Amino acid sequence: MARKEELVVGIDIGTYAVKVCQLQKTGEGYRLLAVGSAMVPPDSVEDGALHEPEAVGKVVAALLKNLKIKSRKVGISISGYSVIVKKINLKTMGDEELAKYISSEAEQYIPFDVEDVYLDFQRLPAKKLESDRDDIILVAAKKEVINEYVNMLGDLKLHTLLVDVDAFALNNIWSIGPRMNTNTALIDIGASKMNINIVSEGISILSKDVAVGSEQLTSQIAVALDVDYGEAEKIKIGAISAAGHEEKIHEIFTRICTQWVLEIKKTMDLYQANNPKRPIQNIVLSGGGAKVHGLPEIIFQKTLLPTSLFDPFERIHIDEKKFDLEYLSSIGPEMAIAAGLAIRPAML
């Protein structure tokens, strides 16, 4: 029997929490081995960059230990200002010629100095057979930012075998699901950013990061109710009640969610204008911010598109003796990116 393909341990380092997921490849698909999350100290990760590598390293190490993960092969993803993903259209070239062209001409497509970035690219499947041009997805990620992550993990004796982009990781895990053949807006709402990723038949067509997120709710509740951040967080997720302040809280939720929906609509309109023949059919939400009570309904009312929460474990075999299904479904949305990393093979 062939040796089972080894997969990386997916580590999604967010501004609020580190999420870890480990899967195993089985004949038919994947099996969940470990999953969990732990909060990072406030401001230790910001705009996709690692400000306090030691503090975050401690959180990652403790989480892996808690989850009894022995593998040292990990995959991470980046987002925000440190990475540019751009679609370019070039005349058809062979793989080698294309690689040469990109390394010598990348400068004109990206706002960074080429010396400062790692470059990667992927050819999209041709839309028309007779076309003599190709769409290429070009990814440029700041070396400085990636090196910070890789060094932090290296200090924990972890080998980073994969550096992905949040939006691609999300698309990865979506693509093994049952509805991957649709045109879907995958929207990840984290603590401090929202990624809107429009995928058509498994290919990411448009991806946008917007600086909004669930942390906005916490800070505004803290100010409006004059409570500390921790208490505001608990009020936000409904863990404690804010008797007498319902109206204020309702107003904050309505205002912020309206802002999120406007951003979503703006990006969807841009996509629709460029892709009139491939209308978006549904919206799928991930990230902890997606769990705002009633958010799918609000988005549905404003877009008239079926909107649901992402369950990244839908197609993953779960041993019910080991994992509580209810708990898994409650953490599913924020685990999507870690799961998307965890389906990738451990190869250099």
Nearer to ligand ATP, 4 or 293 (CB): 293
Strand order in the sheet with 133-142: 83-91, 133-142, 117-123
Q: Is 333 in the site for Mg ion (CB under 5 A)?
A: no
Q: Is 10 in the site for Mg ion (CB under 5 A)?
A: no
Cβ(202)–Cβ(122) under 8 Å? Answer: no
Q: Which of residues 142-201 bind Mg ion (CB under 5 A)?
A: 190
Count the helix, strand and coil residues of the chain and give each as a percent rounded to the nearest 5: 40, 30, 30
Which among 219, 195, 210, 221 is positioned nearest to 285, based on CA atoms?
A: 195
Question: Shortest approach of Mg ion to residue 12 CB, angstroms?
Answer: 6
Region of residue 25 (left: phi > 0; alpha: psi -120 to 50; beta: else): beta
Which among 273, 294, 303, 290 is positioned nearest to 331, based on CA atoms?
A: 290
311 interacts with, out of ligand ATP, Mg ion, none, CB within 5 to 8 A per kind: none
Question: Shortest approach of ligand ATP to residue 162 CB, angstroms?
Answer: 18
Q: Is 289 in the site for Mg ion (CB under 5 A)?
A: no
233 interacts with, out of Mg ion, ligand ATP, none, CB within 5 to 8 A per kind: ligand ATP
Question: Shortest approach of Mg ion to residue 14 CB, angstroms?
Answer: 4
Beta bridge partners of 189: 194
Q: Which of residues 190-249 bind Mg ion (CB under 5 A)?
A: 190
- The footprint of ligand ATP (CB under 6 A) covers 14-17, 190-193, 213-215, 233, 236-237, 287-289, 291-292, 334
Question: Shortest approach of ligand ATP to residue 212 CB, angstroms?
Answer: 9
Question: Shortest approach of Mg ion to residue 255 CB, angstroms?
Answer: 22
Quote the crossing angle between the two packed helices 246-274 and 295-303, to the nearest 10°.
Answer: 50
Question: Shortest approach of ligand ATP to residue 193 CB, angstroms?
Answer: 4
288 interacts with, out of Mg ion, ligand ATP, none, CB within 5 to 8 A per kind: ligand ATP
DSSP H helices in the chain: 53-66, 95-105, 143-155, 166-175, 215-225, 229-237, 246-274, 295-303, 325-342
209 interacts with, out of ligand ATP, Mg ion, none, CB within 5 to 8 A per kind: none
Kindly state the helix (H) or strand (E) to which residue 286 belongs, with its residue range: strand 282-286
Nearer to ligand ATP, 102 or 188 (CB): 188
Report the DSSP pairing between strands 194-200 and 203-210. Answer: antiparallel
Contacts with Mg ion, residue ranges (CB under 5 A): 14, 190
